[in-house]
Structure 1
Amino acid sequence: MSNLSRFDPFSIEPVSEMFQGLFRPLRGISNEDAPLAQMKIDVTENDTAYQVKAELPGVEKKDIDVKIDGNVVSIHAKVERNKEQKEGERVIRRERYSGAVSRSFSLASDIDEASASAQYQDGVLSLTLPKKTASEQKRLQIN
């Protein structure tokens, strides 16, 4: 006798087997080659402001751009690196990296752009984003 099994067309197992390992990092790529592949951020909140810390190792302060639009914060950074190792007059190894990374996220409250501040030290961008005070709703008189 042969074994019978029920076919489930909506089963996800064949699909997961087909894509198994597809999203693992490739072996030839190291973090040194692409230091800004993914910007890591931490966002904390208190009653009056948001604190954002973004890791941007090796980026110059002049190459960082932060934009605030209402409750949306966008951070853009670009980096160019040139490393040379010489032995005598011959160039043994030359590495160049050029790339950019950006990250946008929205917060629950609008940001007071006029009093927002940013600091960059030791590869960490720190943003202090004060919340806008909730304005009272204006009640219109009906004539």
Structure 2
Amino acid sequence: MSNLARLNPFSELRDPFSDDFFKGFALRPVFRMMESEPQMRLDLSEDDKNFFVKAEIPGVKKEDIKVSVDGNLVSLSAEVKKEKEQKEGAKLIRSERYYGSVSRSFTLDESVDQSAAQAKYENGVLQLTLPKKHNGQSHVLKIA
């Protein structure tokens, strides 16, 4: 025998904010049309002498990127300006703008030799070569 459920026409009046309350509203398609905020993705690698950083910052001009190195703290920031227009003939149908900034900071295991650090930005990818600074301050303690 199949499962039968008794219909109660007043059940929604008791709890109008049930899980299906917002089901009729089309919120998901609106959120799909909106672009997410820009993000900066990083790859960090190292060898014996250098740290290598690759940061994806598409659509940003080289002049709008700032890199600062303070000891072993590396900070990257960029100003993002995005404009999009959609026209049909001479009539403007839609215009969208986004102005904002993205930033990332991270610490490295060793200090960086700031005088020999190099940065290159090409095709939306920022590449940093950060030489390690061997300052000789670390030492091994003998256990008594």
Compute the TM-score of the two structures, normalised by the length of structure 1. Answer: 0.70
Segments of structure 1 that go 5 or more residues without pairing to the other structure are: 1-25, 138-143
Aligned positions, number: 111
For the 8 Å contact 1:34–1:97, the answer to whether it is kept is: no
- What is the 5 A alignment of 1:65-104? 65-104=66-105
- Normalising by structure 2, we get a TM-score of 0.70
Aligned to 1:53: 54
Report the RMSD for the aligned CA atoms in angstroms: 2.1
Q: Which has the larger radius of gyration?
A: 2
Measure how far apart 1:125 and its partner are.
0.3
Runs of 4+ in 1 over 6 A off after TM superposition: none
Paired residues of 1:35 and 1:57 also in contact (CA < 8 A): no
- Distance in 2 between residues matched to 1:31 and 1:77, nearest whole Å: 24
- Rounded to whole Å, the distance in 1 between the matches of 2:89 and 2:41 is 40
Label 1:29 to 1:67 Cα distance change in 2 as closer, same or farther (>3 A).
Answer: farther
AA matched with 1:98: Y
Aligned counterparts of 1:120 and 1:75: Cα–Cα separation in 2: 13
Letter in 2 for 1:33: E
Partner Cα separation in structure 2 for residue 94 and residue 128 of structure 1: 39
Q: Output the CA distance in 2 between the equivalents of 1:98 and 1:124.
A: 20
| Residues 32 and 125 of structure 1, relative CA distance in 2, 3 Å threshold | farther
Which of 17, 21, 34 is the matching residue for 2:36?
34
Runs of 5+ in structure 2 lacking a partner? 1-26, 139-144
Q: Percent identity?
A: 50
